[in-house]
Structure 1
Amino acid sequence: MKGKPQMKRRKFLENSAKVFAASMLFNVAFAGENSAKKSTDSKTLPQRMLGKMRVSALGLGCMGMSHGHGPARDEKEMIKLIHRAVELGVTYFDTAEIYGPHTNEILLGKALKPFRDKVCIGTKFGLYYPFGKQMQDSSKKSILRAVDESLKRLQSDYIDIYTQHRGDPDTPIEEVALTMSELVKAGKIRHYGLSEPGYKTLERAHKIYPVTAVQSHYSMMFREVETNEILKTCESLDIGFVAYSPLDRGFLGGLINEKTQFHPTLDMRTSFPRYSKEALKENQKFITFLKEVAANKKVKGKTASVPQIALAWLLAQKPFIMPIPETTKIKHLEENLGSLEITFSKEELEQINARLKEMKVVGERYAPGSDAANSVGL
């Protein structure tokens, strides 16, 4: 009789163990199923290498969300846009301390904190506007102050690529490169870059500490980097190229014309000769041409759009180029990413380039003699 309770207890423990094991197997299977679902929620875009940094073939320029293209947009809506970009596979997000100033970095810090280990953030230093006057300061003291403040705003322990916004005539580029190397060793940045440098400056910097990427204006309507040795130098030194304003400040989006109204004080384009009413009217020939090219290309079964052709053309120029089109609308973000589906044959590119050479762009990108014009190519 004494053995029966022990047998019942043993039976109970055996059955409990079986139930527990079964429940654990179910939980593992359920977790695996959920994990698989989560992994398919986010898409993977084609990748490109900027030096040794892997990024999505198309990045997202974030300036216009907070600065430069009219009043700052609603923060919640911009966070939603950034989250959608991450969901669609965008891994590179571009900002700068001067955008706002500071508010664009704060926006990215909030939006990207949940995804920090999955994305690359590029920010910039060394360009300031005290009392409305442009100045450049890349002294070591200024950089050390700037990087710590950017890290706080970005809510991050590191910056993926830290870019000199414009050259500083008072600070030799060798000193800047040395400071960048110290920041890499300290773990505050992982890579560094230069924006709008001259090719000789780029070579000098690279000798001191490898430059990961150059960020300069490049679009169908502004192709200076093809002739000023910058692209050639990037290719020879294995330096990536980040193409800002790939839609030429929005014009190659195909929705801007001489009737478009820009905010008189908060939109920088009002000071650009290329955005005068005359220039906007004359340059519509580029939009007409892009529509002709688009008519023969499909994206998801539909005729390609003007911005999709402009971005696809840029992607086709060199494998180390990553365009960073700006947008404040999810539908335009999704449209821009459609450009990754478009390819051109060698013959098509030759025909497109031949036509582009025939069309004269009306209006300079910056007013001649302005601080903006004088600070590029240093």
Structure 2
Amino acid sequence: MQQRKLGPFEVSAIGLGCMNLSHAYGTPPSAQDSETLLLRALELGVTHFDTAALYGFGANETLVGQVLAKHRSRFTLASKCGMTGVDGRRVIDGRPATLKRTCEDALKRLQTEVIDLYYLHRWDKQVPIEDSVGALAELVSEGKIRAIGLSEVSADTLRRAHAVHPIAALQTEYSLWTRNPEIAVLDACRALGVSFVAFSPLGRGFLADAIQTAADAEALEPRDIRRGMPRFQAPDLADNLALLPAFRDLAREAGCTPAQLALAWLLAQGEDILPIPGTTSIAHLAENLSAAALRLPAEVLARAHALINPATVRGPRYNAATQAEIDTEE
């Protein structure tokens, strides 16, 4: 597979977001199916695996450790701290002592001596970003992590953090239907030499035909986080669904699937952009990774951009409560 720079590392252009093997989108797959998918990703050339302490409240790190620890030299391991499960609740806590304790727990669950890229999952606005990044810098000095990342932060917060310790990567949502990074943070990353990792590059499945009708959205499991996202709810959902037929037609014309078109568009936005789509399906895994080899005409990518963009997509990406927890430009 095509390779790209992830901070000091060289990894597959498309990585694997491991979250939905344990978290967020309803009932996760069995342990056996999850193991099969992780190993198949490795076989297909994925060398960038992304997990977090939050996912499954530690279960996802445990899964990744149990399955991939014996192959540790073959991939770059990314995980996250600063947002964890406490007594069954999601808690944002960026205090230095908490971050260090989370890292120690993560190293045990991941069955590794060092985490290659360790993100602050959310900036705890009660704690100066300089203090949280300072704690991560100490973990670098101690040899427990190799590089520092940030997730869902603004350009200003990135610059403040980078002044304390070099930031290797910034991770936030980026896709045809979520363009917030284009406001400011993508330019800031490029000015500072920070790699950009795009999570939810398929619009949480929307750009991969996972939701084709209002009934599909209504049928989502109670624990599926999309049930609380305005874009998947009336009245915004109907307008968003109306975008899909022309997008499917364009993908068919280009000789690829809608998911591959969405990923090809994202990869074409810059060599410094690394998508990490997640999936529970072996077939979808192969489909997604095949997008790295696509070379679609600029005219096709421009038409995709014109079809699905901030002017055509309806609704914010998060509800008000979640939006208040993040720091990205809107």
Q: Where in structure 2 are the equivalents of 1:336-351 lying within 5 Å?
A: 336-351=288-303
Indicate the structure (1 or 2) with the bigger Cα radius of gyration: 1
Q: Does residue 107 in structure 1 map to residue 63 in structure 2?
A: yes
What residue number does 1:198 align with?
154
What residue number does 1:356 align with?
308
Q: 1:137 aligns with which of 93, 100, 122?
A: 93
Which one-letter code corresponds to 1:279 in the other structure?
D
Offset from partner CA, 1:130-183 (integer Å, 9 cap, x none)? 466654211111011100000000001010110001101122111222222211
Is contact 1:82–1:111 with CA below 8 Å preserved after alignment? yes
What residue number does 1:223 align with?
179
Q: 2:124 aligns with which of 168, 182, 204?
A: 168
Report the identity percentage.
Answer: 39
Structure 2, gaps ≥5 residues long = none
Give the superposed CA RMSD.
Answer: 1.7
Q: C-alpha separation between the residues in 2 aligned to 1:289 and 1:377? A: 33
Q: TM-score, normalised by structure 1?
A: 0.82
Q: Does residue 263 in structure 1 map to residue 221 in structure 2?
A: yes
Q: C-alpha separation between the residues in 1 aligned to 2:247 and 2:305? A: 12
Q: C-alpha separation between the residues in 2 aligned to 1:219 and 1:152? A: 34
What residue number does 2:133 align with?
177
Q: Provide runs of 4+ in structure 1 moved above 4 Å.
A: 129-134
Q: Which has the higher contact order (CA 8 A, sep 6+)?
A: 2
Is contact 1:174–1:204 with CA below 8 Å preserved after alignment? yes
Q: C-alpha separation between the residues in 1 aligned to 2:306 and 2:298? A: 12
Secondary structure, in 3 states, of the residue corresponding to 1:110?
helix
Q: C-alpha separation between the residues in 2 aligned to 1:350 and 1:85? A: 30
CA drift of 1:373 comes to 0.5
CA drift of 1:236 comes to 0.8
Which one-letter code corresponds to 2:127 in the other structure?
T
What residue number does 1:237 align with?
192
Q: C-alpha separation between the residues in 2 aligned to 1:110 and 1:141? A: 27
Q: Where in structure 2 are the equivalents of 1:60-79 lying within 5 Å?
A: 60-79=16-35
CA drift of 1:281 comes to 3.0
CA drift of 1:209 comes to 0.8
Q: TM-score, normalised by structure 2?
A: 0.94
What residue number does 1:316 align with?
268
CA drift of 1:198 comes to 1.1
Secondary structure, in 3 states, of the residue corresponding to 1:335?
helix
Q: Where in structure 2 are the equivalents of 1:29-178 lying within 5 Å?
A: 45-128=1-84, 130=86, 134-178=90-134
Structure 1, gaps ≥5 residues long = 1-44, 298-302
Q: Where in structure 2 are the equivalents of 1:284-303 lying within 5 Å?
A: 284-297=241-254, 303=255
What residue number does 2:208 align with?
253
Q: Does residue 272 in structure 1 map to residue 224 in structure 2?
A: no
What residue number does 2:163 align with?
207
Work out the number of aligned pairs and report it.
325
